[in-house]
Amino acid sequence: SFILEKTVSLLCTPDGDSEAEEELVWLRNGAVVRLNEENRKGRSSVCISPIIHEDNEAVFTCHLSRNATVSASVTLNVTYHPQLSEAEQVEVEIESMLVLSCDIWANPQVSSILWTLNGSAVDLSASGFTMSSDGFTSQLTANTVERSLHEGTYECTAHFPLHGTISKVFQVTVTEKTMKFPLFPIIAGVVVVCLTAILAVVSRWKKIAKVTYKQ
Ligand SMILES: *[C@@H]1O[C@H](CO)[C@@H](O)[C@H](O)[C@H]1NC(C)=O
Ligand SMILES: *[C@@H]1O[C@H](CO)[C@@H](O)[C@H](O)[C@H]1NC(C)=O
Ligand SMILES: *[C@@H]1O[C@H](CO)[C@@H](O)[C@H](O)[C@H]1NC(C)=O
């Protein structure tokens, strides 16, 4: 298996003397790989640098230019796992929605995921939680947050066959509901205040001007 972000070089050397000067062709998932002139005869190599997620399960095939049935191929097995992440502080308003997400994208795939709240497994039935995983992230969701049920320290712990255990901690604080005003009345209000202030200054200035005139 190959490791993400490293470099791999694949070498193709047909056996048999007659094939020593044969022209070779490389394919990646059936598409021709462009090669330098001097890299086509007798022995040929392709270099993959850096290895990316998309290279996992990519099939590299090398065949004789004149006869594609004389070929060899390799399927890349790129192993990867989520990065360790720092603890996250989460603030959520009462009665709003809480969504916590953990990165679980790995090869080989995650074998188990556990969510805990204050050290005990999250009770999906009792506290309005739902859990979902799609191979990339695992999400814990509560639709209507209540402080007594949902505030505390969460942890998602994912176990990977090859990379061991990775976990992430969330410190969730439930805050009071804040009043949410629609945007338009605020803008209208500001305009009214500004206009009033400008009018006040203008009329004052008129008064002052009048006073000056009288003097
Ligand atoms: C890829 O390599 C890993 C580690 O050697 C192995 O556990 C896994 O089964 C391999 N996957 C495939 C599809 O061969
Ligand atoms: C291609 O090579 C295969 C295997 O060596 C051989 O059976 C076949 O006749 C060759 N085809 C051509 C067109 O040379
Ligand atoms: C979790 O522990 C904290 C601190 O002890 C506490 O304030 C909170 O209510 C607990 N949460 C739950 C859901 O029991």
**Predicted confidence band of residue 131 (pLDDT cuts 50, 70, 90):** very high
Given a cut of 70, whether residue 43 has pLDDT beyond it is yes
Distance CA 213, CA 215 (A): 5
Domain boundaries, the chain: 2-79, 88-175
**What would the mean pLDDT of 151-164 be, rounded to a whole number?**
95
Is the CB of 117 within 6 Å of ligand 3? yes
DSSP letter, residue 198: H
97 C-alpha vs ligand 1 centroid, how far in Å?
A: 39
Closest CA to 13 of 26, 2, 1: 26
**Predicted confidence band of residue 214 (pLDDT cuts 50, 70, 90):** very low
Q: How far is CA 21 from the centre of its chain?
A: 47
Ligand in closest contact with the CA of 123: 3
Tokens of 210: 């009048």
Distance CA 25, CA 181 (A): 65
21 C-alpha vs ligand 2 centroid, how far in Å?
A: 17
Is the CB of 65 within 6 Å of ligand 2? no
Which ligand 3 atom sits closest to the C-alpha of 150? Answer: 13
**What would the mean pLDDT of 17-34 be, rounded to a whole number?**
84
Handedness of CA 19, 23, 24, 30 (dihedral sign): negative
- The CATH class given to the 2-79 domain equals mainly beta
Is the CB of 75 within 6 Å of ligand 2? no
Alpha helices in the chain (DSSP H): 147-150, 183-214
Judge contact between 167 and 156, C-beta under 8 A.
yes
Which ligand 3 atom sits closest to the C-alpha of 127? Answer: 13
Confidence at residue 84, expressed as pLDDT on a 0 to 100 scale: 83
128 C-alpha vs ligand 3 centroid, how far in Å?
A: 16
Give the residue, 116 or 211, on which the prediction is more confident.
116
Ligand in closest contact with the CA of 119: 3
Residue 17, amino acid: D
What is the pTM assigned to this prediction? Answer: 0.72
Is the CB of 70 within 6 Å of ligand 2? yes
Which residues, 6+ apart, have CB-to-CB distance to 146 below 8 Å?
94, 95, 174
Distance CA 149, CA 126 (A): 9
Confidence at residue 213, expressed as pLDDT on a 0 to 100 scale: 39
pLDDT tens digit string along 134-153? 999 999 999 999 999 999 99
Tokens of 153: 């320290």
User: Is the fold of 2-79 the same as that of 88-175?
Assistant: yes
Confidence at residue 181, expressed as pLDDT on a 0 to 100 scale: 64
- The CATH class given to the 88-175 domain equals mainly beta
For the chain, give percent helix, strand, coil, nearest 5.
Answer: 20, 40, 40
167 C-alpha vs ligand 3 centroid, how far in Å?
A: 20
Closest CA to 104 of 80, 138, 55: 138
Judge contact between 155 and 167, C-beta under 8 A.
yes
